[in-house]
A and B are shown apart, each in its own frame.
Chain A
Amino acid sequence: MNNSKQTVDKAAEKKKPMKPFSVHMNKDLQRRYRAEKWFQRSGIAAIVIALSFLLVLFASIIGSGYTAFRQTFVELDVHFNQDLFKNENIAAADYPAMIKDSLRRTFPEVKERRELKSLYMIVSPGAAFSLQDMIKENPRLIGTQQKVWVPANDDVDMLVKGQMKASEAEDNRRIKDDQLAWIEKLEKDGRLETRFNTTFFTSGDSREPELAGIWGAVKGSFYSLLITFLLSFPIGVAAAVYLEEFAPKNFWTDLIEVNINNLAAVPSIIFGLLGLAIFINFWGLPRSTPLVGGLVLTLMTLPVIIIAGRASLKSVPPSIREAALGIGASKMQMVTHHVLPLAMPGMLTGAIIGMARALGDTAPLLMIGMVAFIVDIPGGFTDAATALPVQIYLWADSAERAFTEKTSAAIIILLVFLICMNAAAVILRKKFETKW
């Protein structure tokens, strides 16, 4: 009351009434508008800068990775020589010999041993496996002559894609002059072309870049994330609901809250160490498996989901709670019938953000043995597996030039998955929201 009196007194003192459009006020108004404009412009500038960084990132990754989706193939006339299938076991036949034989027949002029060796280098060591697969599928091919497209070696692939320059001095390139001549001849005969690289999407890791694929890593990531989601989402939601709706406010719940917030900021490698100690050494779960990976990622994701869940529970208006309680709903009914459905979109977003983080993380997997060379595609939760980011990490560390483009291609796949996950989040949210 005293205050209001004082202001009245002061106003009375000034006496002279302010003109609303006085020069002074105009100036002030302009300053205010300028400030607003300045703020808006810097906001736009920030967004533009962020977007251009993103664009540069995308452009460089796609630019260096798109070539990995194509692969050079060479056509060979393979004679499935009856003599080479003496053994009962089809897999034990000497397929490399068939490849070598067909290359020799394609280039009859090559005789000398050293030359022959570099001739064989044109075709991928994996070519023998594609022959093996053909015979496995159709044993009647034995004894026949077939035209077969087999993958070219990674160096040839690099040359064809222009990542290795034929104009370089011979010493400086892995493809030598004689090989260059053979490749040119193959190309002229229409026996060399680039095709869509299905291997990249269907096979596991390999030491040969032309045989390496992402599918094993994708499946590993899928199994891990499935476990992560199935565990972390219900546990996280339950924890958030209990803490937000039921738990009494006291020292212990405060302590728990502080700890959860701290956990969300803990570096992910710590969770890997914890997983190693508990899941592998103490529980005895198998190393390098999506099961353990999923559990570790669950630990990492849980705090994020709990925090997001609590925030979205808090945002549900109290009037809804009152309405439910006022009509005689029990607390549990209030939560499950009214509060949880309203909080669910926010919780899902939190979960997806947490899962996206889990999808892109390698550090915790390092400790539990998922950073490994694994060729076989995992068929379940307890098969050895890697994950997408791990595959990127491993390829980035490989000496072969062709792995550079594979690395970028794997990054593209990872980004596609992240985009899909975010899109799924948006769709799910929309669905939950329009339900009422």
Chain B
Amino acid sequence: MNVKSIFLASALTMTLMTTGTAMAARDTISIVGSSTVYPFSTAVAEQFGKTGNFKTPKIESTGTGGGFKLFCGGVGVEFPDMTNASRAIKDSEKEKCVANGVKEIVEVKVGYDGIAIANAKTAAPLKLTRKELFMALAKEVPDPAKEGQLIANPYKTWKEINPELPDAAIEVLGPPPTSGTRDAFVEMVMVTGAEEFDFIKAMAKSDKDKFKAVSETVREDGAFIEAGENDNLIVQKLQANPKALGIFGFSFLDQNADKVQGSAIEGEVPTFEAISAGKYPVSRPLFFYVKKAHVDVIPGIKEFVAEFTNEKAWGPEGYLADKGLIPMPDAERKQVAEDVAAMKTL
């Protein structure tokens, strides 16, 4: 009967699988980490896989924090060899790595990413400051009537914040708290914006927790809309609603230049040149980290790092620039490339 044959086949696969468990070495590089670095890392991986003698590395987009968690899990084929990060490794993560036997880590800074605050091309371009963005998006803002007092954010339109801004309702689409872009936005825009107010800045010394709560908490009354991790979705929504602003990575602005435009922040429009020159204020460095213990065990790690730090890839004319990565200045690139070639650990 066919019932019997099905049972037989399943028994066979069961045994096959249990014997197949004893997997020895791995010949594919395994990379995890930030979704911001993912497009660049994958581009390098593809180039590396197609031109070299190695398999194409496998890259998972787990987010920076999730990447470190996996990366610091230990040494061995079941743990990733590299992790991408849209911020430098934290001390707590380093400690965790060391606790799990990952003692030698090579840090590779690869370039910068800008965060654009953009609106649809059909609307007028905006000129904003980080202070204004803080006032528009924080949950609690300084009371204009009473010096040194915080009140629930009363602003409904941009004009209420600055008479030069348009009389349009505040409506900002941004990524959820799980996203690295959101972290970077909060850190570079909200916190800096909050520090413009002296009494809030003073809080940073007197009451750290309060400062954190005030500067990092985004308003929840509907003016800030969490639009999900998908930046394409934010671009689409901006097109449909010209009054709204959106927060996303520079590469999406670059790819959708016909649909959306970046607002000037403190007089600087997010362009390739401005970010590269360090003029655009909302930009952050991107990194990846290599587990030194894996370098000669998993084939191709050195070569992959060399491919990434090659001028052809990360240089101003390289293919990563086409993907939206903003290269570091020449001197810095040279320095990092040297350190990496020597596998200089943290």
A touching B, CB within 8 angstroms: yes
Interface string of A175-197 (1 = CB under 8 A from B): 00000000000000000000000
| Inter-chain contact A231/B49, CB cutoff 8 Å | no
Contact residues in B for A396 (Cβ distance below 8 Å):
230, 232
| Inter-chain contact A382/B13, CB cutoff 8 Å | no
Contact residues in B for A230 (Cβ distance below 8 Å):
9-10, 13
Enumerate A58-73 residues with CB–CB distance to B below 8 Å. Answer: none
Between-chain CB contacts (< 8 Å), 27 pairs: A91-B51, A91-B52, A125-B47, A164-B258, A172-B121, A174-B258, A207-B39, A208-B46, A230-B13, A233-B6, A234-B7, A286-B23, A286-B26, A287-B30, A288-B30, A288-B58, A291-B20, A340-B3, A369-B32, A374-B56, A397-B229, A397-B230, A399-B232, A399-B249, A399-B251, A399-B255, A399-B324
Q: Is A28 an interface residue (CB 8 A)?
A: no
At the interface with chain B, which of A100-108, A139-147, A277-285?
A277-285
A172 and B257 contact, Cβ closer than 8 Å, known pairs A231-B13, A371-B61, A376-B55 = yes
A204 and chain B: residue at smallest CB distance:
B56
Q: Is B21 an interface residue (CB 8 A)?
A: yes
Q: Is A227 an interface residue (CB 8 A)?
A: yes
A395 and chain B: residue at smallest CB distance:
B232
| Inter-chain contact B23/A382, CB cutoff 8 Å | yes
Contact residues in B for A115 (Cβ distance below 8 Å):
none
A399 and B252 contact, Cβ closer than 8 Å, known pairs A168-B258, A340-B3 = yes
Contact residues in B for A404 (Cβ distance below 8 Å):
232
A344 and chain B: residue at smallest CB distance:
B3
Q: How far, in angstroms, from A372 to B59 measured CA to CA in the complex?
A: 5
Q: How far, in angstroms, from A235 to B230 measured CA to CA in the complex?
A: 39
Enumerate A346-389 residues with CB–CB distance to B below 8 Å. Answer: 369, 371-376, 381-382, 384
Enumerate B1-18 residues with CB–CB distance to A below 8 Å. Answer: 1, 3, 6-7, 9-10, 13-14, 17
A397 and B45 contact, Cβ closer than 8 Å, known pairs A172-B121, A336-B1, A372-B60 = no
Q: How far, in angstroms, from A389 to B277 measured CA to CA in the complex?
A: 40
Question: Shortest Cβ distance from B61 into chain A, in angstroms?
Answer: 7
A336 and B3 contact, Cβ closer than 8 Å, known pairs A375-B49, A396-B232, A397-B232 = yes
Question: Shortest Cβ distance from B41 into chain A, in angstroms?
Answer: 8
Enumerate A79-122 residues with CB–CB distance to B below 8 Å. Answer: 91-92, 117, 121
Q: How far, in angstroms, from A166 to B256 measured CA to CA in the complex?
A: 15
Q: Is B304 an interface residue (CB 8 A)?
A: no
| Inter-chain contact A207/B43, CB cutoff 8 Å | yes
Contact residues in B for A227 (Cβ distance below 8 Å):
13, 17
Number of B residues, CB within 8 Å of A? 55
Extra contacts, 6 of them, besides A373-B59, A384-B58, A399-B256 (Cβ < 8 A), are A129-B50, A207-B39, A207-B43, A231-B13, A369-B60, A399-B249
Q: Is A199 an interface residue (CB 8 A)?
A: no
Size range of the chain A interface in the assembly: 35 or more
Contact residues in B for A137 (Cβ distance below 8 Å):
none
Contact residues in B for A52 (Cβ distance below 8 Å):
none
Contact residues in A for B35 (Cβ distance below 8 Å):
397
Contact residues in B for A374 (Cβ distance below 8 Å):
56, 58-59
Question: Shortest Cβ distance from B208 into chain A, in angstroms?
Answer: 34
Question: Shortest Cβ distance from B269 into chain A, in angstroms?
Answer: 12
Q: Is A173 an interface residue (CB 8 A)?
A: yes
A286 and B78 contact, Cβ closer than 8 Å, known pairs A373-B58, A382-B20, A399-B324 = yes
Q: Is A36 an interface residue (CB 8 A)?
A: no
Q: Is B231 an interface residue (CB 8 A)?
A: yes
Q: Is A433 an interface residue (CB 8 A)?
A: no
Q: Is B42 an interface residue (CB 8 A)?
A: yes
| Inter-chain contact A207/B61, CB cutoff 8 Å | no
A371 and B60 contact, Cβ closer than 8 Å, known pairs A340-B3, A376-B55, A396-B230 = yes
Q: Is B157 an interface residue (CB 8 A)?
A: no
Instruction: Specify which of A164, A280, A398 lies most central, judged by the most chain B CB atoms within 10 Å of its CB.
Output: A398
Q: How far, in angstroms, from A384 to B13 measured CA to CA in the complex?
A: 19
Q: Is A171 an interface residue (CB 8 A)?
A: yes
Q: Is B155 an interface residue (CB 8 A)?
A: no
- Chain A's interface: helix, strand, loop or mixed, by majority? loop
Q: How far, in angstroms, from A276 to B256 measured CA to CA in the complex?
A: 37
Q: Is A254 an interface residue (CB 8 A)?
A: no
- Residue among B39, B258, B319 making CB contact with A125, cutoff 8 Å: B319
Q: Is B53 an interface residue (CB 8 A)?
A: yes
Q: Is A322 an interface residue (CB 8 A)?
A: no
Question: Shortest Cβ distance from A278 into chain B, in angstroms?
Answer: 12
Q: Is A401 an interface residue (CB 8 A)?
A: yes
Contact residues in A for B68 (Cβ distance below 8 Å):
none
- Residue among A291, A397, A398, A401 making CB contact with B17, cutoff 8 Å: A291
Contact residues in A for B10 (Cβ distance below 8 Å):
230-231, 233-235
Contact residues in A for B43 (Cβ distance below 8 Å):
207
Interface string of B50-72 (1 = CB under 8 A from A): 11110110111100000000000
| Inter-chain contact B257/A171, CB cutoff 8 Å | yes
| Inter-chain contact A381/B20, CB cutoff 8 Å | yes
Q: Is A206 an interface residue (CB 8 A)?
A: yes
- Residue among B3, B60, B258 making CB contact with A173, cutoff 8 Å: B258
A238 and chain B: residue at smallest CB distance:
B7
Question: Shortest Cβ distance from A120 into chain B, in angstroms?
Answer: 11
A398 and chain B: residue at smallest CB distance:
B39
- Residue among A117, A173, A286, A382 making CB contact with B317, cutoff 8 Å: A117
Question: Shortest Cβ distance from B120 into chain A, in angstroms?
Answer: 12
Enumerate B89-136 residues with CB–CB distance to A below 8 Å. Answer: 121
Q: How far, in angstroms, from A283 to B14 measured CA to CA in the complex?
A: 14
Q: How far, in angstroms, from A327 to B42 measured CA to CA in the complex?
A: 67
| Inter-chain contact A376/B49, CB cutoff 8 Å | yes
Q: Is B153 an interface residue (CB 8 A)?
A: no
| Inter-chain contact A376/B319, CB cutoff 8 Å | no
| Inter-chain contact B255/A401, CB cutoff 8 Å | yes
A385 and chain B: residue at smallest CB distance:
B58
Enumerate A149-175 residues with CB–CB distance to B below 8 Å. Answer: 164-165, 168, 171-174
Contact residues in A for B7 (Cβ distance below 8 Å):
234, 238
Question: Shortest Cβ distance from A225 into chain B, in angstroms?
Answer: 13
Contact residues in B for A165 (Cβ distance below 8 Å):
258
Question: Shortest Cβ distance from A230 into chain B, in angstroms?
Answer: 5
Q: Is B323 an interface residue (CB 8 A)?
A: yes
Q: Is B28 an interface residue (CB 8 A)?
A: yes
Q: Is B280 an interface residue (CB 8 A)?
A: no
Question: Shortest Cβ distance from B186 into chain A, in angstroms?
Answer: 21
Contact residues in B for A285 (Cβ distance below 8 Å):
21, 23
Interface string of B244-287 (1 = CB under 8 A from A): 00000101101111100000000000000000000000000000
Q: How far, in angstroms, from A231 to B38 measured CA to CA in the complex?
A: 34
A173 and B257 contact, Cβ closer than 8 Å, known pairs A372-B60, A375-B56, A382-B20 = yes
B235 and chain A: residue at smallest CB distance:
A399
Q: How far, in angstroms, from A125 to B318 measured CA to CA in the complex?
A: 12
Enumerate A373-429 residues with CB–CB distance to B below 8 Å. Answer: 373-376, 381-382, 384, 394, 396-401, 404
